């Protein structure tokens, strides 16, 4: 009698020993580090956005203030077109600042579930504010290109 041994032919009562994955501890440590550093990395990115938005607002304001378009804008539309980058960058700046403003989070430090939920609420809020700040920073840059196009078109 010839029996063929295939991987599917192994009996169900015969279990192979499962060796622990040597990379398992590495990935656990990596995930723990990412989780612990998530708020710090969000805040560092918000600091960068605050710096960039502030510099862009200052440069753009001075470029408009010392340009020859003052008093030559006919109507509200062109005025809004030139002010739009400043307004969008201001919203970006405010959203990035909200990353740092403390909020009240109810939590029971004796309960790991409540502590976890509070941490998740904090990270979710900060991440949402950071995404809004980034979005308005990019929208401000796009509005800048539109204003430059209008300026160059005359």
Say if 28 falls within a structural domain. Answer: no
Domain count, the chain: 1
CA distance 49 to 14: 59
pLDDT digits (tens, 9 = 90+) for 99-136: 998 877 777 778 888 888 888 899 999 999 999 999 99
Say if 106 falls within a structural domain. Answer: yes
pLDDT digits (tens, 9 = 90+) for 42-73: 999 999 999 999 999 999 988 888 877 766 66
Using an 8 Å Cβ cutoff, are 113 and 129 in contact? no
CA distance 143 to 59: 15
Q: Which pTM does this prediction carry?
A: 0.76
Show the domain range for 85: 38-153
Say if 27 falls within a structural domain. Answer: no
Say if 33 falls within a structural domain. Answer: no
Say if 23 falls within a structural domain. Answer: no
Say if 10 falls within a structural domain. Answer: no
CA distance 91 to 56: 13
Say if 19 falls within a structural domain. Answer: no
Q: How many helices (H) and strands (E) does the chain have?
A: 3, 0
Say if 132 falls within a structural domain. Answer: yes
CA distance 63 to 59: 6
């Amino acid at each position: 009698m010839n029996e063929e041994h295939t991987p599917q032919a192994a009996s169900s009562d015969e279990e192979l020993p499962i060796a622990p994955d040597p990379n398992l501890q590495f990935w656990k440590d990596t995930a723990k580090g990412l989780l612990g550093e998530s708020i710090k990395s969000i805040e560092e990115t918000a600091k960068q956005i605050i710096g960039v938005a502030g510099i862009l607002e200052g440069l753009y304001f001075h470029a408009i203030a010392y340009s020859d378009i003052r008093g030559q804008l006919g109507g509200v539309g062109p005025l809004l077109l030139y002010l739009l980058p400043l307004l969008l960058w201001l919203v970006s700046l405010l959203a990035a600042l909200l990353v740092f403003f403390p909020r009240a989070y109810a939590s029971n430090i004796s309960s790991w579930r409540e502590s976890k939920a509070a941490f998740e609420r904090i990270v979710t809020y900060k991440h949402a504010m950071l995404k809004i700040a980034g979005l308005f920073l990019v929208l401000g840059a796009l509005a800048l290109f539109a204003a430059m196009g209008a300026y160059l078109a005359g």
